Structure 1
Amino acid sequence: MEYQQIINSIYNEVLLLENKGTVADYIPELEKVNSNKFGIALIDNHQNNYSIGDAKEKFSIQSISKVLTTAIIFSKIGNDLWQRVGFEPSGNAFNSLVQLEYENGIPRNPFINAGALVIADLMLSHFDNPKAYFLNFIRELAENEAIDYNETVAQSEKEHGFRNAALVNYIKSFHNITNAPEDVLDFYFYQCSIEMTCEDLAKVFQLFSHNGLIPKSKTKFLTTSQCKRMNALMQMCGFYDQAGEFTFKVGLPGKSGVGGGVVAIYPNHYTVAVWSPKLNKKGNSYYGLETLERLTTITEASIF
C-alpha cells in the first residue's frame, strides 16, 4: 500500500474543504492554538513511518489520554474494572451529568469524563506516583523521553474545571470515588495536558494494533482479549455521541480529543493520527474525521 502517496493526496484534498469547526474555547489555553494547523502521521505494523503537514508539532492530546489510563488499569486489575465503570456507549455529551443519577454513580464508559475520573481514582489507588508512572509509560510507548505534561494547560483546566469537579463529587456521593476529589481532579487535568505529535501518537497506539504487544520491547502489556475489548471500547465510545457516525463513515476503532487530535487503529495493519484544532459541534476534529473517512474509502480497508 502506497501510504505516503495516499496521505499526501488526502491532505491536499481536505485542505480545499471549508473547515466549519471551531477551536475549543472552554479551556483558554486551547483557544490560543493556531487553528490552521493540520498534520497526519501513519505507522504501519512493519514500523514504516509516513507523515505530512504539522505531524511533528506537539499538541495537547486531551481525552485521547483516557484510552491509555484505561489500558493501564485494565492491565492492572482485569475485569474487576467493570464493577466501577461500564462499557456501553453513552449517547450523551462527554461532560454530561445526566446518566449518573439513574445509574447510581457508575459511569456508562471510561471515555466520557465521568468514567475517566473513576479511572483517575483507580490510578491514584494503584500507583504511588501515578503522574510519573503514566508519563513514563507513554514515553516508553512513543520511544520519546521528551514527552511531558503541559503545566500551563493543566492549570488552565484546573481553573475552569467546574463541571468536572461537579462530576467527581457527585460520583463520590455514590461511593464510586475512593480518593479525595481534588487529588483525582489534579491527576485528570494533568493526564489530559500531555503533549505529543501525530507521530508520537501513532506510535503510542501501536499497542492496540499489535494485540496488546509493545513493539519495541516485545512486552505483552495487554492480553489479546483485553486488547480486543479496548479496541471495541474505542469503536463504540471513542467519539462520544458521534461514535455511530464515525463507525458508519470510517469503520475503525479510534479516539478523539478536544485539542483537535484523532487517532485510529486498523488492527494488525497500521495506526494513524491526525491533528487539526477546529472541532465540529460534537467536539471532534472536523478535518480529522474528513481525513479518516477518506483514508478507509481510498484504501478500501476497515475492520468491516
Structure 2
Amino acid sequence: MSSNPCLASVVAEIADEVGRMTERGDVARYIPELAHVDPRQFGMVVVDADGRVFAAGDSDTPFSIQSISKVFTLTMALGMIGDRLWQRVGREPSGNPFNSIVQLELERGVPRNPFINAGAIAVTDVIVASHQPREAIGEILRFLQSLAADRRIVIDKTVADSEKRTGFRNTALANYMKSFGVIERPVEFTLGVYFHQCAIAMSCRQLATAARYLAFGGADPATGRAVVTSERARRINALMLTCGHYDGSGDFAYKVGLPGKSGVGGGIIAVAPNTASIAVWSPGLDRAGNSLLGQFALERLVKRTGWSIFGP
C-alpha cells in the first residue's frame, strides 16, 4: 500500500466499517459453485493516477468476476467491428432482471444493452465470429492478463462447468436471439465462450488495475498504451453508469455517482474519471444481484473523496 495517509486511511476506515456490518446480503445460489463462497469476505482496492495502490481486506483473493467480464468483452467487440455492434445490441437501461427474456420478445431479439445477459451473449458472439471457441476464450483471457499486467489470471473451470450445467435461461436467451439472426455462430459455441468468460477469477487488485484504461481516457497511464480511443472509453463509461447494475443502475448512480459494473460473484469495478480505478468485492448480493457491501463501500468512498461525477 502507498504511504499516502489520506486515501490509505479512507480505504482502511471503510473496510473497518464493512467488517462491523451484520447485514451482508445473500450469495448467488443459482450457480451452484458460487453458493459455497463465504459471505464474510470483503476486499477493496483503489489505484490512483500515479499507479499507487490502496488496498484493504481480502484484496488479493481471486473470485469469479462474472458480469464484470462484460465490460472487457464489449471493449474487444467494439475494437473488432466498431459501431456496427449497435445494430445487434441496444444502449438503453433494461429496467428488468439481468436474465429476463421479456424485452427480447417485445423487441424482436435485440437485447436492450450489452450488460444484461442477452446483450453480453450477443457481444460474445461477435468475438467468436472470427475465432474457434477455444481461441476466443484464450483471446479474452490474454486481454485481461495484459490489462492487469498479471499472467496468473485464470479461468475457474469448476465455475464454468457449473454454469454450463445450470445455464438453461441463458440457453433460452441465446436460442431466441438466434431465431432473429442476432446470434450468428452456433449457439453452443457462443455460450461455451460466454460461460468461460464469466468464470474468470480475479482479485480486486487485478480488476482495479485492468480497469485503469477506462479511468484515464482509454489508455493505461502506467505505459501510455492506448487500449481504446478516449471517445470510446467515455461511451463505455456512460453505459456502465446507466446499465452497469441491471435494474439497480439508477440507484447506484444516485448513491455512488460513478460508472461501474457489477457481477453476481460479488465484485464491482468503478472508475473516477482522470482520478482512480476501484474494485470492491463482497459475495453477498442485494435483490438486484449487486454486492450489498460493495455498494456500501463505494458510497462511503465517494462521500469521503468527493469523486462523484456529479460533484462533491
Hey, what does 1:112 align to over in structure 2? 116
2 CA distance for matches of 1:215 and 1:250?
Answer: 24
Opposite residue 104 of structure 1, the aligned amino acid is R
Query: 1:27 aligned to 2:31?
Result: yes
Match of 1:85 in 2: 89
Q: Does 1:164 align with 2:170?
A: yes
- The answer (yes or no) to whether the contact 1:59–1:197 under 8 Å persists in 2 is yes
Cα contact 1:57–1:198 (8 A) shared by 2: yes
1:218 Cα shift?
A: 2.2
Spell out the pairing of 1:170-249 with structure 2 (5 A cutoff).
170-249=176-255
Asked whether 1:103 is paired with 2:107, we answer yes
Which stretches in structure 2 are left out of the alignment for 5+ residues?
A: none
Q: Which runs of 4+ in 1 moved over 3 A?
A: none
Tell whether 2:262 aligns with 1:256: yes
CA offset digits 1:15-64 (Å, max 9, x no partner):
22222410100001011111111111110011000101100110000000
Q: Deviations over 1:182-219 (max 9, x none)?
A: 11110000000000000000000001011111334422
Q: TM-score, normalised by structure 2?
A: 0.96
Q: Does the residue aligned with 2:61 lie in a helix, a strand or coil?
A: coil
| Matches of 2:146 and 2:223, distance apart in 1 | 9
> Shift of the alpha carbon at 1:77?
1.4
- Please state whether the residue corresponding to 1:226 is helix, strand or coil: helix
- The answer as to whether partners of 2:24 and 2:39 remain within 8 angstroms in 1 is no
Name the residue aligned to 1:47: 51
Q: Distance in 2 between matches of 1:10 and 1:100?
A: 40
1:122 aligns with 2:119: no
The DSSP-based 3-state class of the residue aligned with 1:272 is strand
Quick one: distance in 2 between partners of 1:236 and 1:117?
A: 19
Which residue of structure 2 aligns with residue 16 of structure 1? 20
Q: Distance in 2 between matches of 1:109 and 1:239?
A: 12
Letter in 1 for 2:107: E
Mapped contact 1:117–1:184 kept (Cα < 8 A): yes
Q: Which residue pairs with 2:276 in the alignment?
A: 270
Give the Cα separation in 2 of the matches to 1:126 and 1:42.
35
Structure 1: runs of 5 or more not aligned: none
1:136 match: 142
**Further displaced range: 277-286 or 209-218:** 209-218
**Deviations for 1:215-234, whole angstroms, at most 9, x for unmatched residues?**
34422121111111000000
Report the Cα offset of residue 156 of structure 1. 0.2
- Asked whether the 8 Å contact 2:24–2:293 carries over to 1, the reply is no
Aligned counterparts of 1:20 and 1:204: Cα–Cα separation in 2? 27
Paired residue for 2:62, among 58, 62, 78? 58
Deviations 1:283-302 (CA, angstroms, capped at 9, x unpaired): 00010000001111111221
CA distance in 1, matches of 2:209, 2:62: 14
What count of residue pairs does the alignment treat as equivalent? 304
Aligned partner of 2:297 in structure 1 is 291
RMSD (Å) for aligned C-alpha atoms: 1.0
Which residue type is aligned with residue 94 of structure 2?
A: S
One-letter amino acid of the counterpart of residue 270, structure 2: A
Please report how far the alpha carbon of residue 127 of structure 1 lies from its aligned counterpart in structure 2 after TM superposition: 3.5
CA distances 1:79-100 after superposition (whole Å, capped 9, x unpaired)? 1110110010000000000000
Structure 1 residues 198 and 20, CA gap change in structure 2 (3 angstroms):
closer
Query: CA separation in 2, counterparts of 1:83 and 1:132?
Result: 26
TM-score under structure 1 normalisation? 0.98
1:87·1:233 contact (CA, 8 Å) conserved in 2? yes
Q: Percent identity, aligned pairs only? A: 47
Aligned residue type for 2:49 = N
User: Are the counterparts in 1 of residues 121 and 174 from structure 2 also a CA contact under 8 Å?
Assistant: yes
For residue 51 of structure 1, give the secondary structure of its aligned residue in structure 2: strand
Q: Is the 8 A contact 1:75 1:221 kept in 2?
A: no
| Contact 2:77-2:124 at 8 Å conserved across structures | no
